[in-house]
Amino acid sequence: MSSTALFYLVTFIDLTTAVIIFCGALSERMRLYPAWHKVGLIVAVVGLVCQAFRNVQFIHTGVSPSDADAPLWILKDLGIAIIAYCYLYLGIKASMNKTTVKPVRRKAKK
């Protein structure tokens, strides 16, 4: 597979993934998700769109765009990291708050 075809494929995947996440964000069930989850998804979508735009620039010009000042494509990784670390935090918090329940011993009948 040529590098141009790979860039077309990755661009298509980035854009379709962004649309799927955006449409999912409009669903009624999204109200059940915590705010940090929504923020992580929004950040990831912005990163995916920025990566797709960067790929389109490369496909049309043949030159990789310089993004040393503001590499916005990294937001896709940060969005996923926000979700992952918040889940980890909640898991650790829940395991630390667990109280051990001692079984109640019944007295033996005589």
* Chain segment 18-48, per-residue pLDDT in tens: 999 988 888 888 888 888 888 999 999 999 9
Contact predicate 83/91, CB 8 Å: no
Distance, in Å, from the CA atom of 79 to the CA atom of 77, rounded to the nearest integer, reads 5
Over the stretch 37-85, which tens digit does the pLDDT of each residue have? Answer: 889 999 999 999 998 988 888 888 888 877 766 788 889 999 999 999 9
pTM of the model: 0.75
Contact predicate 47/75, CB 8 Å: yes
Q: Is residue 1 over pLDDT 80? A: no
Residue 3's closest CA among 51, 59, 71? 59
Contact predicate 22/45, CB 8 Å: yes
Distance, in Å, from the CA atom of 25 to the CA atom of 42, rounded to the nearest integer, reads 9
